[in-house]
Amino acid sequence: MNKQYREDSENNALAPETVDDEQASETADRKGRRKFLVGAAVSTPVILSIVSRPALGGACTVSGFLSGNLSNPHAQEICGGRSPGYWINHLSDTTTKYADVFGGVWYGRYGAWDANTTLYQALAMTGNEDRYQFGAHSVAAYLNAVDPGIAYSMTPTEVINIVSDVLVLGQYTHPGTGRVMDAQEVVDFFFGTFDG
């Protein structure tokens, strides 16, 4: 038999309680498990923060692109996207209009595109027809985002918002940082998300 103490609620003091060895062992086991769980709960976030990358940390997101990969600048991140060259050879829909997806038209060196320009035509345009190749890269990013077979880093809505802002405002402003990207920087960002 062991003596243990329990709280006496009437006298607000500890009162002796006699328990057998089996009860004492169970109580010790529960306390040990509780200490283990508390220790695990406290240490898990610390361990996870050491081994995991931040969700918005790499070049696969606008936030990561704008901040740069300072932790390992030479590491190549896999973002899952396919290039305009891939999509020009794999796009089966040749009728969807660029303006219907993005809400506006882009312009080349010689002026605005025709409102009937299709996604396929945008992919096929050269630098003179597609300034910075913004149209081709925006179409490729969009197709990556909508293709369920590609684990792309952005959603269709994110791509459309970025492209629409450039078409309407001439730039994209990241809502989290307030940093501004012009069309060339958006192309550079999209290009960085293409793995092949």
Please tell me the predicted confidence (pLDDT) of residue 80: 81
pLDDT, tens digit (0-9, with 9 covering 90-100), for 77-87: 668 899 999 99
Residues 166, 185, 71, CA angle at the centre, nearest 5°? 130
Measured CA to CA, the distance from residue 21 to residue 5 in angstroms comes to 14
Q: Which two structure tokens, joined as six digits, stand for 118?
A: 């299709």
Whole-Å CA distances, 28 to 18, 31, 41, 47, 116 = 15, 5, 20, 27, 76
pLDDT level of residue 21 (50, 70, 90 thresholds)? low
pLDDT exceeds cutoff 70 at 22: no
Of 8-12, 86-90, 92-96, 192-196, the poorest mean pLDDT is in 8-12
Dihedral of alpha carbons 63, 140, 97, 185, sign: positive
pLDDT exceeds cutoff 70 at 19: no
The separation between the first and the last C-alpha atoms of the chain, rounded to the nearest angstrom, is 73
